[in-house]
């Protein structure tokens, strides 16, 4: 059995198991690191010795480089108490298990690749549109990490100030994608929570346009094979078709592939695992940590 932790800005979802048919989960609110970690660690301790490794898919920004002195930490978050918190260290110290660490977006994508809407694909992207906009990318079968890790929510996209005079909510950039299209951006622009805007409201057309601009940029840079859109704001079924239509208009048949011309219904779709993608993907991270360790051992013996 493996342990998975989806570390989110509002809640931690923990799970023990082997997959979607066999997982026991629990949720704890994200308060201070001490209080939240106490609940998380007690949950895994109660499972005794069944768990072989823990995978963590975390909100960020995070330090993913094993050689770095800050490895395993949440770095520059404005979330009180969490900046520089050593999440991997805290888990490892008490549970004495191998710990794998990646972004929440990469973990959710890994879950979808194994059991969900990106099964069998070597190239896919997962984006969550909620309190923030975040995501993960799989390119040629590998999760993308890079210099730090991708920050898909902070793509810079065209902003027509005449059509939309709203300056955006990102504390770093103002009108980046997250600044213009996250749930809080919609709420600040229209004065009501995004979920209460009726389907015909002009806010949805603007939202679809901003998201489609971001998706086109990903499609042309990564040549990705599928884009999964999750998170609170995507709980609006009408939004998917609006985004696909705008995506097709913006791409203008330049990329010559059936997937982005005739199969947009699957190219841009909802995650199949819903809210469980992150915790399930974290189980996969844990499983990979165990097999990587086995390889290292085999290497040392040889």
Residue with tokens 């915790």: 279
Q: Which two tokens stand for residue 166?
A: 């709203």
Contact 179, 185 (CB under 8 A): yes
Identity of the residue, 71 or 190, whose beta carbon is nearer to ligand ADP in the bound complex:
190
Q: If contact means CB under 5 to 8 A according to the sort of partner, which of Zn ion, ligand ADP, none does residue 170 touch?
A: Zn ion
Give 172 or 297: the residue with its C-beta nearer to Zn ion.
172
Q: Which residues bind Zn ion (CB under 5 A)?
A: 154, 170, 172-173, 176
Which DSSP letter does residue 20 get?
T
Q: Which is nearer to ligand ADP, 19 or 184 (CB)?
A: 184
- Token pair belonging to 73: 């930490």
With CB under 5 to 8 Å by kind, the binding choice for 131 among Zn ion, ligand ADP, none is ligand ADP
Q: Which of 4, 55, 130, 168 binds ligand ADP (CB under 6 A)?
A: 130
Residue 231, binding choice from ligand ADP, Zn ion, none, Cβ under 5 to 8 Å by partner class: ligand ADP
CA 296 to chain centre: 29
Q: Which residues pair with 133 in a beta bridge?
A: 129
DSSP string, 50-91: G---EEEEE-SSB---TTSTTTTBB-S--STTTTT-BHHHHH
**Which of 186-198 are b and which e, b meaning 16 or more Cβ less than 10 Å from the residue's Cβ?**
bbebbeeebeebe
Site string for ligand ADP, 1-20 (x = CB under 6 A): -------xxx----------
Are the CB atoms for 99 and 91 separated by under 8 Å? yes
Q: How far is the CB of 13 from ligand ADP (least distance, A)?
A: 10
- Asked if 194 and 187 touch (Cβ cutoff 8 Å), the reply is yes
Which of ligand ADP, Zn ion, none does residue 183 bind to, with CB < 5 to 8 Å depending on kind? ligand ADP
Picked from ligand ADP, Zn ion, none, the partner binding residue 194 (CB below 5 to 8 A depending on kind) is ligand ADP
Q: Which position among 29, 70, 195, 265 is part of the footprint of ligand ADP (CB under 6 A)?
A: 195
> Using the rule CB under 6 A, is 60 a contact of ligand ADP?
no
Where do contacts with ligand ADP occur on this chain (CB under 6 A)? 8-10, 128, 130-131, 183-184, 187, 193-195, 231-233, 235-236
């Amino acid at each position: 059995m493996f342990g998975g932790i989806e570390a989110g800005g509002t809640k931690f979802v923990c799970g023990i198991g082997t997959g979607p048919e066999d997982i026991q989960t629990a949720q704890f609110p994200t308060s201070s690191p001490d209080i939240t970690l106490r609940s998380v660690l007690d949950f895994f301790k109660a499972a005794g010795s069944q768990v072989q490794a823990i995978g963590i898919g975390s909100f960020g920004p995070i330090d993913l480089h094993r050689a770095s002195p800050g490895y395993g930490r949440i770095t520059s978050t404005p979330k009180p108490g969490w900046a520089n918190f050593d999440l991997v260290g805290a888990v490892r110290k008490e549970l004495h298990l191998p710990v794998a660490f990646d972004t929440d977006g990469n973990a959710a994508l890994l879950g979808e690749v194994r059991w969900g809407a990106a099964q069998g694909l070597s190239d896919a992207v997962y984006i969550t549109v909620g309190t923030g906009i975040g995501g993960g990318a799989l390119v040629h079968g590998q999760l993308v990490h890079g210099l730090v890790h991708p920050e898909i929510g902070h793509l810079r996209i065209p902003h027509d100030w005449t059509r939309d005079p709203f300056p955006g909510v990102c504390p770093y950039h103002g009108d980046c994608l997250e600044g213009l299209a996250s749930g809080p951006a919609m709420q600040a622009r229209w004065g009501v929570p995004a979920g209460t805007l009726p389907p015909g409201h002009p806010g949805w057309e603007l939202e679809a346009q901003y998201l489609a601009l971001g998706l086109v940029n990903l499609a042309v840079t990564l040549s990705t094979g599928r884009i999964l859109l999750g998170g609170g704001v995507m709980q609006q079924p009408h939004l998917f078709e609006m985004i696909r239509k705008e995506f097709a208009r913006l791409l203008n048949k330049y990329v010559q592939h059936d997937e982005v011309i005739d199969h947009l219904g699957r190219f841009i779709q909802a995650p199949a695992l819903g809210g469980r993608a992150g915790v399930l993907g974290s189980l996969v991270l844990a499983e990979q940590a165990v097999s990587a360790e086995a390889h290292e051992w085999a290497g040392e013996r040889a």
